[in-house]
Amino acid sequence: MAKSPASQQRRKGRSRGTAAKESPAKQEGSARRRSGQVQSLARAISLLNALTDEDYGLSLSDLAQKVGLAPSTTHRLLTTLQEERFVRFDLERSVWLVGVQAFVVGNAFVRSRDLVAMSRPHMRNLMEDSGETVNLAVEDQGEAIYLGQVECRQMMRAIAKPGGRVALHCSGVGKALLSGLPDMEVNRIVQRRGLGRYTEKTIDTPVRLRQALSLARQRGYAFDDEENAIGLRCVAAVIYDEYGHPLAAISLSGPTARLTDERVQVLGGLIVKAAAEITTALGGAKPDFASHG
């Protein structure tokens, strides 16, 4: 029997009212879905871990048994991992193996470990020659993240813990990393991250940043003149990979009382030398800055 417009309107009203009342339940459902997503991620990782132990791969049933999952669940997760190239399927032997993307991710970690390990002796030598704290950092999502540090023996010294982050435009390591990039890429980073003001000396306009990066390219090192923290100065230079791309930056940091204008020039020469030595040790090459535009 056909429903009257009034009846339909009442039904719609009840539906809207019910939806409003069920809001907490929907929130609970969303939480369950998020929990399920986390569980799926954990299970996918367990599959990858299981496959890393098997050089010749595993069949679906053997893999499911090894990780304690149902074959249907295992196959669904493997299919997703296969789409992202973390696993692959050998048709001839009907076994699953680790995929190329797992190697790419793992190799990124190996490269970062090699970078720190191979830079460490040069960082120690630089600390001894300069008497100042030495930092190593890389670019990550538009920020500089510190990988390592060799502290100086001075009572007053700069401390940047590994894993700590700092803005690119107002730090020595950050400006050094930016100086190794083409202007177009620098502009994209600035548009995405902005130019936040940390002190009265922070570079906060694109024009001033371009000028600072141009100067850094000319002399070979970047200079942070109390732009991130009052009372702290820093000089930094780029470490390049084999393609001439900025891989990391190494810096010397210290209080303004010790890093005078005259001493900054001396330390600049030391930091350029250390960065060049690490670049060579890693098989890197300095690019032609004439192409940066």
For the segment 85-119, what is each residue's pLDDT rounded down to a tens digit?
Answer: 999 999 989 999 999 888 778 767 656 668 898 99
For residue 39, the cross-strand partners are none
According to CATH, what is the number of the domain 113-291? 3.30.450.40
Residues of the chain with pLDDT under 70: 1-36, 107, 109-113, 156-157, 289-293
Is-contact 275 157, C-beta < 8 A? no
Q: How far apart are CA 221 and CA 8, in angstroms?
A: 73
Strand, helix or coil at 292? coil
Determine the pLDDT at residue 177: 98
- Beta-sheet strands, E only, within 121-245: 133-140, 143-150, 165-167, 222-225, 232-240
Q: Which residue has the tokens 């390591």?
A: 173
Position 159, amino acid = I
Closest CA relative to residue 235, chosen from 205, 200, 259, 208: 259
Determine the pLDDT at residue 30: 54
Give span(s): CATH 3.30.450.40, the chain: 113-291
Architecture of domain 28-98: Orthogonal Bundle (1.10)
Within 8 A by CB and 6+ apart from 99, the residues are 81, 82, 85, 86, 87, 88
Q: How many CA atoms lie within 13 A of 59 on its CB side?
A: 5
DSSP letter assigned to residue 58: B
Backbone angles phi, psi at 107, to 5 degrees: -70, -30
User: Which two three-digit tokens encode residue 220?
Assistant: 């070979």
User: Which two three-digit tokens encode residue 63?
Assistant: 């893999």
Count Cβ atoms within 10 A of the Cβ of residue 184 and give its class: 0-12 exposed, 13-18 middle, 19 or more buried: exposed
Is-contact 173 137, C-beta < 8 A? yes
Determine the pLDDT at residue 44: 93
Give span(s): CATH 1.10.10.10, the chain: 28-98
Determine the pLDDT at residue 31: 54
Alpha helices by DSSP H, 22-85: 23-52, 60-67, 71-83
Is-contact 118 281, C-beta < 8 A? yes
Hey, CA dihedral for 92, 97, 100, 103, is it positive or negative?
A: negative
pTM: 0.64
Strand, helix or coil at 238? strand
Q: How far apart are CA 174 and CA 30, in angstroms?
A: 39
Q: How far apart are CA 172 and CA 152, in angstroms?
A: 18
Count Cβ atoms within 10 A of the Cβ of residue 17 and give its class: 0-12 exposed, 13-18 middle, 19 or more buried: exposed
Q: Which residue has the tokens 């590994």?
A: 162
Cα 53 to chain centroid distance, Å, stands at: 28
Is-contact 242 283, C-beta < 8 A? yes
End-to-end CA distance of the chain: give it in Å, rounded: 74
